[in-house]
């Protein structure tokens, strides 16, 4: 009897071990797949960022951009486009992480560039057409992705701001700061088929030394070891402290401060920052 029970126990143990081996193999395969997805998403993000020589060619503005993908790639988007003197600056954040978020970010960049090349200047038509493109593709993908997106049209010190994203930081030459809420300037893209009724715009006038700071919530919601958020107040204070420097130096100072705040932890969301200064 004891011998039979022992053999049954050994058999059960062998079966359990085999199940664990199969599960481990599946887990390894899944980790490899996810790793490949993240690598593709990260590569897509980096390939489409505006290059330094493009930013230097934007008349009237000193521009510095920064994006650091997280350990889990999100769908942060920023771009600076120049089509026949029409300057379009965009910043957005797709929900979630991974390849799907990266794909929506890629669609956003492509559709924005296409609309600009087709000389669409009306902010309502521009954002609503962009939204319909994203919405249609997200429905086809059977995923629940959406994104917040602000667009800035710049010409000779004048900015037209439209779309819903984070608060826009407007910095005057003397370092004083105004925060512009974008909640009533648009609606997240990809959630509804038609968002025309939600889209509005506001005008900003930049004098020499004034500027704009754009960012995604990876910066303001970055946490330290004590789980405190970096926050918008600290971001504004850091920008203010270094505003007398060039756009690139302001950008570097902010990112350095955020990274020091986070410490040695993995970054769980993309860090994206765009600094614009009127020459």
pTM (2 d.p.):
0.87
| Structural domains of the chain, with CATH | 48-278 (3.60.40.10)
Can you tell me the distance from the alpha carbon of 92 to that of 219, in angstroms, rounded to the nearest whole number? 13
pLDDT of residue 150: 98
Mean pLDDT per 10-residue section of the chain, whose length is 279 residues: 72 78 77 72 79 94 91 80 96 88 90 96 97 97 95 97 98 97 98 98 98 97 94 98 98 97 86 97
Positive or negative: CA dihedral 184, 189, 190, 192:
positive
Task: Supply the pLDDT for residue 264.
Answer: 87
Angle between helix axes 2-48 and 99-117 (nearest 10 degrees) is: 20
Specify burial of residue 21 (Cβ count, 10 A radius: 0-12, 13-18, 19+). Answer: exposed
Using DSSP's 3-state secondary structure scheme, residue 162 falls into strand
- What pLDDT is stored for residue 127 in this prediction? 98
Q: How far is CA 207 from CA 112, 113, 176, in A?
A: 27, 28, 13
pLDDT in the model for residue 230: 97
pLDDT at 216: 96
pLDDT of residue 226: 93
**The pLDDT of residue 72:** 63
DSSP alpha helix (H) spans, the chain = 2-48, 52-56, 99-117, 123-141, 217-220, 232-242, 247-262
Nearest to 67 by CA among 215, 221, 222: 215
């Amino acid at each position: 009897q004891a011998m039979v029970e022992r053999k049954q126990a050994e058999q059960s143990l062998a079966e359990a071990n085999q199940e664990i081996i199969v599960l481990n193999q599946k887990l390894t395969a899944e980790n490899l797949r996810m790793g490949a997805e993240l690598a593709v998403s990260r590569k897509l993000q980096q390939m489409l960022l505006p290059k330094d020589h493009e930013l230097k060619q934007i008349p009237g503005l000193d521009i510095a951009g920064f994006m650091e993908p997280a350990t889990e790639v999100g769908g942060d988007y920023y771009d600076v486009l120049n089509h026949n003197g029409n300057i379009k600056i965009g910043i957005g954040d797709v929900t979630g992480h991974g390849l799907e978020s990266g794909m929506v970010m890629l669609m956003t960049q492509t559709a924005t560039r296409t609309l600009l090349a087709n000389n669409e200047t009306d902010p309502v038509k521009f954002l609503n057409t962009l939204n319909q493109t994203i919405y249609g593709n997200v429905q086809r993908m059977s995923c629940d992705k959406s994104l917040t997106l602000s667009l800035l049209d710049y010409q000779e010190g004048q900015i037209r701001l439209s779309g819903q994203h984070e608060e826009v930081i407007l910095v005057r030459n003397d370092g004083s700061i105004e925060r512009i809420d974008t909640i009533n300037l648009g609606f997240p893209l990809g959630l509804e088929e038609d968002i025309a009724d939600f889209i509005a715009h506001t005008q900003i006038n930049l004098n020499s030394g004034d500027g704009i700071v754009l960012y995604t919530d990876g910066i303001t919601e970055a946490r330290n070891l004590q789980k405190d958020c970096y926050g918008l107040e600290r971001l504004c204070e850091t920008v203010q402290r270094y505003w007398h420097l060039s756009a690139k130096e302001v950008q570097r100072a902010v990112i350095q401060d955020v990274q020091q705040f986070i410490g040695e932890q993995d970054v769980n969301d993309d860090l994206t920052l765009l600094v614009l200064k009127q020459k």
